A and B are shown apart, each in its own frame.
Chain A
Amino acid sequence: MEKVFRRLELVLSPLVTVLLVVCLYRVFRVVPNEVTMGVVQRIFYFHVPSAWASFLAFFVVFGASVLYLATRKPIWDTLAHASAELGVLFCTIVLITGPIWARPIWGTWWTWEARLTTTLILYLVYVAYLVLRGQAENREQEARFASVLGIIGFLDVPIIYFSVRIWRGHHPIVFKTAGGQGLEPVMLTTFMLCMLTFTLLYALLLILRLRLGLLRNDLEQLREQEQALGV
């Protein structure tokens, strides 16, 4: 396992680094200025991919939770924990860049707009997930409870988004360049590149965090051995 991870890390780290540099270059030098929002709109190129990465992460939590309850193999629980942490990380990025983008555009730091509100509620659900993990009686119970929450939380995602949309109404954000044609191809390719980059970034961080989780499992096993030997 370790070897596969090391090899993946070796491949992904330089790849992600290069992609990030390319993305930054495109975002700051290549892409044209958006007509209504000006320079600030460029945050979108990292803001939306972060949201996508967090959604992907929570989906992985869901999958891993189901697999854990079905097979009871600890690796799935470790994966769920790792992915949840990353989901919260990317959610944090969305919740910080969102207001920074909103302030100059809408004049206020926070607005109870559908997507931001959904992200905030999701954030609370998965932060609660991480807190729950710390408070269980034992490892096995922690894994079971977390899996149940991981499944419920993800089932809730579309419902929460839907409910906030109904409540708030839809705020469409249309991007226009000087030509007034909507999303220009340059912007689109840059955006897709950023989406790919963040997906790979998530994968890389997941492997690193997974290594951490597996190490923790090893430590626990050793501690059990230690107790068994009466040392």
Chain B
Amino acid sequence: MGVLSQALLICRKDLKQELRTRESFTAAFFFALLLQVVFSFSFDFLDLGLDFTEVGAGIIWITLTFSAILSLQNSFLIEREKDCLQGLALCPADASSIYLGKFLANTLFILVVQAFILPISVVFFGYDLSAGAAPLALVVSVNTVGFSALGTLFSAMTARTRRSELLLPLLLFPAAMPLVIWGVKATRLCLAGRRLESYGYLVALSGCFDVIFVVAGILLFEYVVED
């Protein structure tokens, strides 16, 4: 069985589980929703006369990253609770396929939550996304891939430590900072109505980040799951 087909199998297993329980989606989605409400009070756009395009990128990205962390934490926590981690390590699948499968599943879960949250944020904050919807989707997707690549690796590590809830954000945010920096800048330009050409380089940079750290994840994951 090829690495890719093994990975897809593992991805499907996670998907089936999630479709059954919807744990991860519920937690991440409602947390993101809550954040949006808090932000609407923290930055009273009408009162302050703020243009959403000025601070909106930051609000969007804080919401996306923090809710993504919840999804990622859940990804290996389930295995830990059901003691499946050892099962995973013993199964004949290559460590890299486990990583790829988990990474694909995580990316998918996070993207689904984002697909729900972004339209809701349009409603909450009343900004215009008609022209920018596709570029924004691109920016968000590319950066999510990188966040998930690092997050899957780190989540596997921290799930087996004490204080795992504290450790994952502590590890992931500094390491994924470039994605946040580039994502926010690109989103800001996108919301301001600029054309994709002007911020395309930021998407390309995020893409490079994605490639580097997916490869790193594939190479290093075996050291995380061995027992």
Which A residues fall within an 8 A CB radius of B? 69, 121-122, 124-125, 128, 131-132, 135-137, 141, 144-145, 147-149, 151-153, 155-156, 159-160, 162-164, 166-167
Q: 9 shortest A-B CB distances, which residue pairs? A: A163-B178, A124-B174, A135-B161, A125-B174, A128-B170, A163-B181, A128-B171, A145-B157, A148-B220
B170 touches A69 (CB 8 A): no
Mask, B169-201, CB within 8 Å of A = 1, is 011011101100110010000000000000000
Residues from chain A with a CB closer than 8 A to the CB of B185 are: 166-167
CB-CB under 8 A for A163 and B182, given A136-B161, A155-B216 = yes
Listed A/B pairs (13) with beta-carbon separation below 8 Å? A124-B170, A125-B174, A128-B174, A131-B167, A137-B161, A144-B226, A145-B161, A147-B223, A149-B157, A159-B212, A162-B178, A163-B182, A164-B181
Choose among B173, B212, B223 the residue that contacts A148 (Cβ–Cβ < 8 A).
B223
B153 touches A148 (CB 8 A): yes
B157 touches A132 (CB 8 A): yes
| Contacts A125-B175, A151-B216, A166-B205 supplied; 7 other A-B pairs, CB < 8 Å | A131-B167, A136-B161, A137-B161, A148-B220, A155-B212, A160-B178, A162-B205
CB-CB under 8 A for A135 and B163, given A121-B174, A152-B213, A162-B178 = yes
Q: Bound complex: CA of A152 vs CA of B173, how far in Å?
A: 13
Residues from chain B with a CB closer than 8 A to the CB of A153 are: 175
Chain B, interface residues (CB within 8 Å), range: 20 to 34
Closest A residue by C-beta to B209:
A159
A141 touches B150 (CB 8 A): no
- Chain A's nearest CB lies how many Å from the CB of B177? 5
- Chain B's nearest CB lies how many Å from the CB of A120? 9
B162 touches A152 (CB 8 A): no
CB-CB under 8 A for A167 and B160, given A148-B224, A152-B153, A152-B220 = no
Q: Bound complex: CA of A70 vs CA of B161, how far in Å?
A: 23
Q: Bound complex: CA of A136 vs CA of B181, how far in Å?
A: 30
Closest A residue by C-beta to B178:
A163
Residues from chain B with a CB closer than 8 A to the CB of A160 are: 177-178
B161 touches A167 (CB 8 A): no
Q: Bound complex: CA of A22 vs CA of B157, how far in Å?
A: 47
- Chain A's nearest CB lies how many Å from the CB of B89? 12
- Chain A's nearest CB lies how many Å from the CB of B15? 26
Q: Bound complex: CA of A136 vs CA of B220, how far in Å?
A: 17
A148 touches B181 (CB 8 A): no
Q: Tell which of B150, B158, B213, B223 has the most Cβ of chain A within 10 Å.
A: B223
Q: Bound complex: CA of A147 vs CA of B219, how far in Å?
A: 13
Choose among B157, B170, B175, B220 the residue that contacts A156 (Cβ–Cβ < 8 A).
B175
Residues from chain A with a CB closer than 8 A to the CB of B158 are: 132
Choose among A149, A151, A162, A166 the residue that contacts B171 (Cβ–Cβ < 8 A).
A149
A132 touches B181 (CB 8 A): no
Closest A residue by C-beta to B184:
A167
CB-CB under 8 A for A163 and B153, given A145-B224, A149-B171, A152-B220 = no
Residues from chain A with a CB closer than 8 A to the CB of B213 are: 152, 155
Q: Bound complex: CA of A161 vs CA of B213, how far in Å?
A: 16
Residues from chain A with a CB closer than 8 A to the CB of B178 are: 156, 159-160, 162-164
Residues from chain A with a CB closer than 8 A to the CB of B163 are: 135
B167 touches A152 (CB 8 A): no
Q: Tell which of A135, A141, A151, A155 has the most Cβ of chain B within 10 Å.
A: A135
- Chain B's nearest CB lies how many Å from the CB of A25? 38
- Chain A's nearest CB lies how many Å from the CB of B171? 5
Q: Bound complex: CA of A194 vs CA of B185, how far in Å?
A: 38
B181 touches A128 (CB 8 A): no
Residues from chain A with a CB closer than 8 A to the CB of B220 are: 148, 151-152
Residues from chain A with a CB closer than 8 A to the CB of B224 are: 144-145, 148
- Chain B's nearest CB lies how many Å from the CB of A198? 24
